[in-house]
Amino acid sequence: MFKASIRRLPIRFFGAIIPLLFWGCIATNGDTLKNIRERGALRVITDNNSNTYYLYRGTAMGFEYDLAAAFADHLGVTLKIVTPGWNRMFEALEEGQGDLIAASLTATASRRDRFEFSDDYLTVQQQIILHRSNRTVREFGDLEGMTVHTRQGTSYQERLLELQRGGLQLNIITHRNVPTEELIRQVAERQIEATVADSNIALLNRRYYPDIRIAFPIEEPQPICWAVRKGDEPLVAEINTFLEKIHQNGIFDKIYRRYYANARFFDYLDLKKFHRRLESRLPKFLPAIRRESRKYGFDWRLIAALVYQESHFDPTARSFTGVRGLMQITEATAREMGIDNRRDPEESIEAGVKYLAKLHGRWDRILDPQERMYFALASYNIGYGHVRDAQKLARKKGWAPDRWPSVKQTLPMLRLRRYYKDTRYGYARGDETVKFVERIRLYYDIIRQDALARRGLESGASFHDVPISLPSIIGSFGGLRHDHQQTRSVHRWNRFPRFLSRCPQESCLKPTV
């Protein structure tokens, strides 16, 4: 009877069951670390969004991606990225499609029952996100009767359900595989009343959607960790060794600064004006910006950010120092760059980009492309000589002189006589230069998101056609490059945002040390 029943089973049954048996073997053998080394590849399951992993101009980026790439380097293997969609990540891990999940996961009690977690490397806090105009909701009780939208299968949903069970009359609407960033956009455009986001995601997105308000936390600070299958203790131990190592050697700090260093900076009026002028003023100068950027291999979005910082896209702009035009060129620089009229937008852009390229060339000994650009931008603002003076101060203090974080600290010292009296070029307003570079990094980040969103809309692309390429936190002129492979994605989101108050809790975003 049993044999006959087996013979009558359709072939498609075996086609379905054999992969499950295979995945089950992988998922339960408890020696994932050995498998990783034998195959020579680390398979990381993550989500495709601005906080974890995304593609920009064909380059993989994201806070979690950079950490995963560093872990692959630590193991001496290549990195493969698997993006099954948020609602499928945990199943994908259990089925053996990947070795670990690195997706800014909070290690909740329910998840710990199901998976092993690494040591935590970041602390975040769930925040209620409202429209800026909503000033009546300021504490838990004010949520009574409200409708809060959240992504399905998240710790946000768990927490909202806890609040409901505790007696808070709250309407919860969950969305399958809709990124939290999209729900934040809907709040900003008043399509929905409220959502929930971890503090790091909220701070990242506030600059793209300045009309949101990060209202208050609804949960205690929570640890962010990587997840592995139950029984994978050797892999957890290796991850923890790696995390300790990168905290000690500075790699974690470098990755953290790349994405979160300026997350708290927020000027509502400035950003609202910037968003408006991207639409009203930038299009007039875009052909010239693109053309001159191509000449020297610069990202045109970076040059647009520089132009805005210098003149707010106003060709008649004039500083009290006498510099003029879109790129705020001095008379001497105009002569050196071969232009006659600083007030002519095309000539100003031509001279400004050419001058930036010259400065960029003088910093060729700085190998990191990001760091090199920061030095070039600082030189554009304050002069090459003053930046060299700041380097010498950094060297005297025992700091790395070719690292922007070091020079970022010493540039403001050039205002103080006890420091500048022994320098070659003397006094300088170095603190203004630091702000100059940081604002360009911010504007660059926003322009990248806007340009990529518009590209998706103009091509009629869906989420399947164009990998989500939302920006990293400010300053990614390049990311950690690593061999990677993105496997099948089952995301459903096909909407792009139209555009590309200080966090209420000091503990809402900090690295674990």
- Report pLDDT digits (tens) over 411-467: 999 988 888 888 888 878 898 899 899 989 988 988 887 655 554 433 333 222 223
177: confidence class by pLDDT, cuts 50, 70, 90: confident
Q: Is residue 265 scored above 80 in pLDDT?
A: no
**Look-up of token digits 């060794």:** 241
Model pTM score:
0.62
> What element of type H or E holds 109?
helix 109-112
3 state DSSP class of 224: strand
Most confidently predicted of 215-229, 246-260, 261-275, 474-488 = 215-229
Q: How far apart are CA 341 and CA 346, in angstroms?
A: 9
Q: What is the pLDDT of residue 487?
A: 38
- Token pair, residue 118, equals 């690494």
Q: Is 331 a catalytic residue?
A: no
Half-sphere exposure of 447 (CA within 13 A, CB side): 27
CA distances from 432 to 317, 326, 406, 428, 435 (A): 18, 19, 16, 9, 5
Q: What is the pLDDT of residue 268?
A: 64
262: confidence class by pLDDT, cuts 50, 70, 90: low
Give first-to-last CA distance, the chain, whole Å.
Answer: 63
**Look-up of token digits 């994405």:** 259
Mean pLDDT value across the chain = 81
8: confidence class by pLDDT, cuts 50, 70, 90: very low
Domains (ranges, CATH) in the chain? 13-123+224-260 (3.40.190.10), 126-219 (3.40.190.10), 268-440 (1.10.530.10)
- Token pair, residue 146, equals 């409200």
Q: What are the tens digits of pLDDT across the range 366-410?
A: 999 999 999 999 999 989 999 999 999 999 999 999 999 999 999
Least confident of 10-24, 302-316, 457-471: 457-471
356: confidence class by pLDDT, cuts 50, 70, 90: very high
CB atoms within 10 A of CB 485: 12
Instruction: Give the residue, 505 or 247, on which the prediction is more confident.
Output: 247
Q: What is the pLDDT of residue 27?
A: 44
Q: Is residue 354 scored above 50 in pLDDT?
A: yes
Task: Name the catalytic one among 116, 182, 292, 310.
Answer: 310
* Angle formed by the axes of helices 199-206 and 180-188, nearest 10°: 50
Q: How far apart are CA 183 and CA 66, in angstroms?
A: 25
Q: Is residue 323 scored above 90 in pLDDT?
A: no
